[in-house]
């Protein structure tokens, strides 16, 4: 397992801020291999009107293309918000086994929170190591949704 690299989470948070500025849910993702950044992405679901444009899916797709493989088992994911069920499916298909999470998601989280699916060996027979790392990500998300409720963008 690759050790936690705080600089990688900071880069993922910067990606989340790009989403925030574009009125997308502020989620950023980074995939690394051997302490080298392979891909970064941010959520573009609202700005591009594509329901599946989550940061994790975009980062996985970029990493697969760059490495010329769909097997990312030697890679680590840094993501500012706990992945949803759809993104967990992509993580499983890409065989990513280590995930660092900046904020949990009580609404849609599929790793720690709402649907802790990685604990079900029938869904994913390999162990996924996930680590919650306290970041400013929850603050960014709360501010984004507070502004949405107020009608601000």
Question: What value, to the nearest 5°, has the Cα angle with vertex 60 and ends 100 and 2?
Answer: 35
Location of structure tokens 């993501």: 79
pLDDT (0 to 100) of residue 140: 82
Question: How many residues can be counted in the chain?
Answer: 153
pLDDT, tens digit, for every residue of 91-140? 999 999 889 988 887 788 777 777 666 666 666 666 666 666 677 777 78
- Give the span between the Cα atoms of 35 and 31, in whole angstroms: 10
pLDDT (0 to 100) of residue 145: 81
Query: Average pLDDT, whole number, for the chain?
Result: 87
Residue 104 backbone phi and psi in degrees, to 5: -80, 160
Domains observed in the chain: 6-147 (3.40.140.10)
Q: Which residues are catalytic?
A: 56
Q: Report the pLDDT averaged over residues 72-94.
A: 94
- Give the span between the Cα atoms of 135 and 102, in whole angstroms: 6
């Amino acid at each position: 397992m690759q050790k936690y690299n705080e600089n990688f989470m900071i880069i993922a948070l910067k990606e989340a801020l790009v989403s925030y500025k574009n009125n997308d849910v502020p989620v950023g993702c980074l995939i690394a291999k051997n302490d080298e950044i392979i891909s970064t992405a941010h959520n573009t679901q609202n700005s591009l009107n594509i329901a599946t444009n989550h940061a994790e899916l975009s980062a996985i797709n970029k990493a697969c293309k760059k490495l010329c493989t769909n097997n990312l088992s030697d890679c680590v994911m840094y993501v500012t918000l706990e992945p949803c069920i759809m993104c967990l499916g992509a993580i499983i298909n890409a065989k990513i086994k280590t995930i660092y999470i900046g904020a949990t998601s009580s609404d849609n989280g599929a790793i720690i929170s709402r649907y802790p699916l990685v604990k079900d060996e029938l869904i994913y027979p390999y162990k996924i190591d996930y680590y919650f790392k306290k970041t400013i990500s929850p603050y960014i998300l709360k501010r984004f949704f507070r502004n949405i409720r107020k009608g601000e963008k």
